[in-house]
Amino acid sequence: MTKALVFRPKILVLSVCLLIFPLVFSDAFYRDIGVTVILAAISASAWNIVGGYAGQVSVGHSMFYGIGAYAPLLFYQLWGWPPILGIPVGIALSLGLAVAIGTPTFRLTGHYFSMATIAVAELIRIFTGTWDFVGAAIGLQGPATARGWWDLTFRGELPYYYLFLGVLAVLLCITAALERRKFGYYLRAIKTGERAARSLGVPVRQTKIKALMLSAAFTSIAGSLYSIKTGFIDPESGFGILVSVQMVIIAALGGAGTLFGPLLGAVILVPLQTATNTWFGGGGSGLTYIFYGGIIVLIARFEPGGLFELWDRIAPTRWRRSHAA
């Protein structure tokens, strides 16, 4: 019934495309976009576990991303540790924070969770901006040149691309495995009807907290990868509200609660964002975010299932049947 993921034809094609992309498009510009797409796909897929599968919409996932981004550079600046050692610290802190937020808010309806996440993320962002120990508003910097491979500081984009792709593969494999286990069914049961799920014996709170923890861990890793690659982090690029927004919009665009939705969303949105920045000039200013807001509103109004669901509805039945056979 369930063939291993790699042997399914669509997934095989997808994997090959992702693997050869930087070799076909060897221009640094395209490779950079590739790296950005994969990184965005990692954080959006991580968000997707709790926001998509469990239906608990976090609008403050930047708190985990930021913690993950700060940890490697902080230890580098303090004691000259290789940034890679900061990754597990970031994960540990994020797990703790996930439990601290999930425990009280998951007792209540989903809106409380959304409000709590945005408030905690803002609290941390403002606090980080005033705390000299973590560089206050100026932020932190990583090693300028690599002292060895363990610094993960490379000259070209290629090593980053395959490193990030590996992390994404691990994350998607874990998600795919969970999808078919009891845990995955629990998550979907909670999303569809929490009360019904509870009455059927689903341990609702524990399941939600576990989902949030897994999501937080991978979001933290995404943050670490980002700061190690850029070699720089400040409160806005780590904890800013737009970091959270990007995860939400990418997952929702592709299809929240589907395995490849976030990846699809990243493949569409990141190049589009680069293009709008180029057309309208001024990276990251106004128009890009008007565009973001517009997309989110349109998805919510017309297509809350994202592009995957849209495809399911409009794709001709015959084509799908022949494909499924």
Partner 1 sequence: MLFLQVIVGGLLLGAIYALFSSGLTLIWGMMNFINFAHGEFVMLGMYAALLVVVWLNGGPAVFGLAAAVALFVLGVIVYAGLIRHVMRGPMLAQILSSFGLALLLRYTAFFIFSANFVSLPQNSLSGTVDIGGILMPLAQLVAGVIAIALTIALHFMLTRTTVGSKLLAVSEDRNAAMLMGIRPDRMQALAWGLSAGAAGIAGALLAISYPWSPSVGETFGLTAFVVVALGGFGSVPGALYAGLIIGLIQAVSAFWLGPIYKDIVVYALFVALLWLRPQGLMGKA
- 3 state DSSP class of 140: strand
**Token couple for 93:** 């802190």
Q: Please give the Cα distance from 207 to 215 (Å, whole number).
A: 12
- Our finding on whether 127 is near partner 1 (CB under 8 A) is yes
Tokens 């069914």, residue? 185
Dump the DSSP string for 196-224: HHHHTT--HHHHHHHHHHHHHHHHHHHHH
Of 302 and 319, the one with the shorter C-beta distance to partner 1 is: 302
- Cβ-based neighbours of 141, under 8 Å, separated by 6 or more: 73, 77, 231, 232
Of 108 and 315, the one with the shorter C-beta distance to partner 1 is: 108
Of 222 and 249, the one with the shorter C-beta distance to partner 1 is: 249
Of 96 and 304, the one with the shorter C-beta distance to partner 1 is: 304
Q: Please give the Cα distance from 93 to 97 (Å, whole number).
A: 6
Judged by CB under 8 A, the residue of 16, 27, 28, 112 near partner 1 is 112
- 3 state DSSP class of 141: strand
Shortest separation between residue 25's beta carbon and partner 1, angstroms:
31
Which one of the spans 34-42, 100-108, 138-146, 157-165 is the region binding partner 1 (CB under 8 A)? 100-108
- Cβ-based neighbours of 4, under 8 Å, separated by 6 or more: none
Of 154 and 289, the one with the shorter C-beta distance to partner 1 is: 289
Shortest separation between residue 211's beta carbon and partner 1, angstroms:
15
Which one of the spans 37-45, 62-70, 241-249, 262-270 is the region binding partner 1 (CB under 8 A)? 241-249
Rg (CA), the chain: 20
Positions that interact with partner 1 (CB under 8 A): 51-52, 55, 57, 59, 104-105, 107-112, 114-116, 118-120, 122-123, 126-127, 130, 191, 241, 245, 248, 252, 256, 285-287, 289-290, 292-301, 304
